[in-house]
Amino acid sequence: MFDYAALFRLDGRRALVVGAGSGIGKTSAEALAAFGAEVTCADLDLAAAERTAGSIGDAGGKADAIRIDVRDTKTVAAALAGERAVDVLVSTPGINVRKPILDISDDEFDRVIDVNLKGTFRLIRAAGASMAGRGRGSIIAFSSIRSLTVEPGQGVYAATKSGIVQLLRALAAELGPRGVRANAIAPGVVDTPLTAPIKQNAEWYAGYARKSILGRWAKPEELAGMVVYLASDASSYVTGACMFVDGGWTAADGRFQPPL
């Protein structure tokens, strides 16, 4: 019988997880290592990346840590050059400025675009070039439900998350013939440092929970399975996709429960 379990194994592969210091990036790094990958934990906060690498080591995995600033092309290129060439890239960084579009300054707009969209572009460009040269690789970047559905105050953030999906689709088309796959993951509401301000407002927090079909927020580790899947041979025929892991947020209307 075909060894289906082996499809998910990542032994002998090297992964770079950007944003590995906390939240979804941290759990992604830990999960990839649990399935056998050697993981480089990268973050703007080097100490946080080192803590994640340490937790992987304590669990018997292989990991190291580097500092990376996705706003800096040189540091991005260095993180993926030479011996640091990887088989898997996972990009998770994102920032948000919650304001109506009419109130957003040029500086705030540029700051969100530079981290979320251009930062992702810098990473996938560098990783894609390296992977294409070796004829293999999986590129995974995090989008959001906001790529599909928005709310007031999320305009610029939503634009970056839609842009990430389209960048990855184009990359998938361009590099597919050279053995490289590119996919996006679109989470719903996840309990991470980025969403911490929402938790401070009980009504806001509960409202988001109710919008999900499952009636709750996601934990960061609930995104890890999709990361492992897209990194592994289990998804060898999946590219150019946007995988929604949102508890059903985008599947149901949610405004009213009809009397059935």
Catalytic residues: 157
**Rounded-to-integer distance, Cα 159 and Cα 145, Å:** 11
Q: Please state the separation of Cα 191 from the chain's center in Å.
A: 14
Cα 93 from Cα 103, distance rounded (Å): 24
The SS3 of residue 34 is: helix
Q: How many residues does the chain have?
A: 260
The distance in angstroms from the start CA to the end CA of the chain is 46
Q: Return contacts of 170-176, CB within 8 angstroms, 24+ apart.
A: 171/124, 171/128, 171/139, 172/239, 172/240, 173/240, 174/128, 175/128, 175/131, 175/132, 176/239, 176/240
- 94 half-sphere exposure, CB direction, 13 A CA radius: 30
Long-range CB contacts (within 8 A, 24+) of 41-46: 41/17, 41/65, 41/66, 42/16, 42/17, 42/18, 42/66, 42/67, 42/68, 42/79, 43/18, 43/19, 43/67, 43/68, 44/68, 44/69, 44/70, 44/93, 45/21
Q: What does the alpha-carbon distance between residue 54 and residue 26 come to, in Å, rounded to a whole number?
A: 11
* DSSP one-letter code for 219: P
